[in-house]
Structure 1
Amino acid sequence: MDHQPPPFFKRGPAPLALLSFYVALSVALLVVDARLQTLEVLRQALSMFTHPVQHLAQMPAQFLDNAGNYFVSVSRLQDENAQLKRARLDNVATLLRTQHLEVENQRLRNLLGVKERQQASGQLAQILYSARDPYSRRIVIDKGQQDKVVSGQPVIDDAGIVGQVTRVFPFVAEVTLITDKEQAVPVQIVRTGLRSVVFGLGNGQLELRFLPANADVKDGDVLVTSGLDGIFLPGFPVARVVHIERDTSYSFARIFCMPLAGVENFSEVMILDPRPAVVLPEQLVREAAGREARSPVRSGQAKKKRLKKD
């Protein structure tokens, strides 16, 4: 009987076929995840296992950082304490007048029946690291689902708006900075009250768009949140106008701004609580329902449904 020796190496599919298969599978997974967000649960599950590893990898650098800061912190804190004491004494008169004005403002609001402004509250978070994507402006903070952080919450520092929470994991969350290309914030110019939308450019700057070329905007104008998006409370500083390009051949002016907050500098931020949903009065809801019922499109659809039933 003829026995052939076994092959030395077991041959499988061709390398080119394997490469084509894995490339097609990767592209399909990317498209499905971008469209349907089907891998979000898997991503969160993996983050639970990778979070301790990332924490351990960062421990040596944090230890060296803390050791270096310890030796210079005492004298710096003493200087800051002395400066704060002097500033408190210098500003005590202004503070007392401000408290008086707040009480008077509240009394006038009660007399006029004006709704009280929403109070800002939140929790402090520390920036762990920046996102690895070089084409985006995102940071990762040490608060997540365990701390009741949800997507959409505004993030601020002591100077103004930093960004917005866009992705939440069990122990950490990802914040998209206002300088990212996909971020937009409704704003209002303090000097004129003009409303518009500011967009990130991805290079550390912002652009104020949808304003005509003859709009009353000047270098140095301060932009604050208008609050029209239902996410950011009104009145938070956002940016300052630094350069304006007016061209009569275009309908809109190009207005460049610099963020007021330290979006690339500091290590602590505050996550503001979500704004409560606006509850419409029952009368407005009934009027809206009546207008919808009286609309010609709705009435035509109702007639078609009745004819089909008959």
Structure 2
Amino acid sequence: MVAIPLLSVNLQQRSKDKPWILIPFFYTAGVTQNSYAAFSSNVRGTTDLYLNLINIKKTNRELTGQLAELKAQLGELTELKLENERLGHLLAFKQKTHMNLLASRIIGRDLLTDYETVTIDRGSSHGVKKGMGTLTINGVVGYITDIEPNTAKILLITDRYAVIDGVVQRSRARGIAQGLTSDSLTLSLLKRDDDVKMSDIIVTSGIDNYFPKGFPIGSVTKIIEKPYGLGQQVTLQPAVTTSDLEEIFVVLNANHQNFEE
């Protein structure tokens, strides 16, 4: 009996606080407020994400720039290492021979002329003379044709006007090595019965003292017998790839060096 009056009082107090007719509006307002709060939170989240993406892109650009710089530095170090290795091989070669050799760098290439030539950074003031031979540790390069005080021009062995006295290393048959294309030579003046085989090594004769005796000129890649017994047509692959040259030696004096001994 006591609980009924208390329940009645409680309902009356709630009715006074919130009239029943307004309860739906309060509910709608609450839902709207909650939705707005959620929307605001989503907007803030989207804005933060956008700003993070901007920072990531900026960081990515910075890292890309740093990576490019590191790659460039690595390339320079690699190039320096390779150059030091080449120069080390040249120095070791020079120390093993008793030839008088002058080390030089190629500073120019004549690409628009009828001749296959390169220019080096040594000239008459360094003792270079016309006709002197040039070589690398792998073989013959060519010989000096034009001279200035501090530069000189080399006619490469692959030029069609370049001729060098050559010998078949195995059989001692003699011929003249002459430029054919930018990557091939021909060995002419061979007799039909001269002993020449595929892969034979052709070396310098050394008779002019411009080149040491027995130094590689090239190797045989093709042999064609000429008709009517007029000899043989022999094609060679040069011992040196002339398009890759960077440093070479000028033979100031071969001093009768013989690489076949």
Is the contact made by 1:239 and 1:260 (CA closer than 8 Å) also made in structure 2? yes
Quick check: 130-139 or 178-187, which moved more?
A: 130-139
Question: TM-score, normalised to structure 1's length?
Answer: 0.51
Counterparts of residues 62-101 of structure 1 (less than 5 Å): 70-74=73-77
* CA positional deviation for 1:266: 2.0
Give the structure with the larger strand fraction: 2
Is the contact made by 1:137 and 1:202 (CA closer than 8 Å) also made in structure 2? no
Match of 1:175 in 2: 154
* CA positional deviation for 1:149: 1.2
Poorly superposed stretches of 4+, deviation over 4 Å: 67-70, 75-82
Counterparts of residues 11-160 of structure 1 (less than 5 Å): 70-74=73-77, 119-160=98-139
Matched to 1:71, the amino acid is L
* CA positional deviation for 1:225: 0.5
1:210 to 1:129, Cα distance in 2 relative to 1, 3 A: same
Match of 1:226 in 2: 205
1:142 to 1:194, Cα distance in 2 relative to 1, 3 A: same
1:72 alignment partner, SS class: helix
Structure 1 CA distance for aligned equivalents of residues 148 and 236 of structure 2: 32
1:68 to 1:155, Cα distance in 2 relative to 1, 3 A: farther
Match of 1:261 in 2: 240
* CA positional deviation for 1:151: 1.0
Of 193, 204, 226, which aligns to 2:172? 193
What's the C-alpha RMSD, in Å, of the aligned pairs?
3.0
Structure 1 CA distance for aligned equivalents of residues 80 and 210 of structure 2: 36
Instruction: Count residues in correspondence.
Output: 177
1:146 to 1:229, Cα distance in 2 relative to 1, 3 A: closer
Structure 2 CA distance for aligned equivalents of residues 144 and 68 of structure 1: 37
Is the contact made by 1:122 and 1:270 (CA closer than 8 Å) also made in structure 2? yes
Of 163, 176, 199, which aligns to 1:184? 163
Is the contact made by 1:153 and 1:272 (CA closer than 8 Å) also made in structure 2? yes
Matched to 1:233, the amino acid is P
Q: Which runs of 5+ in 2 are unaligned?
A: 1-69, 86-95, 257-261
Structure 1 CA distance for aligned equivalents of residues 121 and 83 of structure 2: 27
* CA positional deviation for 1:171: 1.6
Q: Which has the larger radius of gyration?
A: 2
Cα deviations by residue, 1:164-200 (Å, 9 ceiling, x for unpaired): 0111012210000111111111111111122221111
Matched to 1:238, the amino acid is I
Match of 1:270 in 2: 249
Is the contact made by 1:128 and 1:141 (CA closer than 8 Å) also made in structure 2? yes
1:70 to 1:213, Cα distance in 2 relative to 1, 3 A: farther
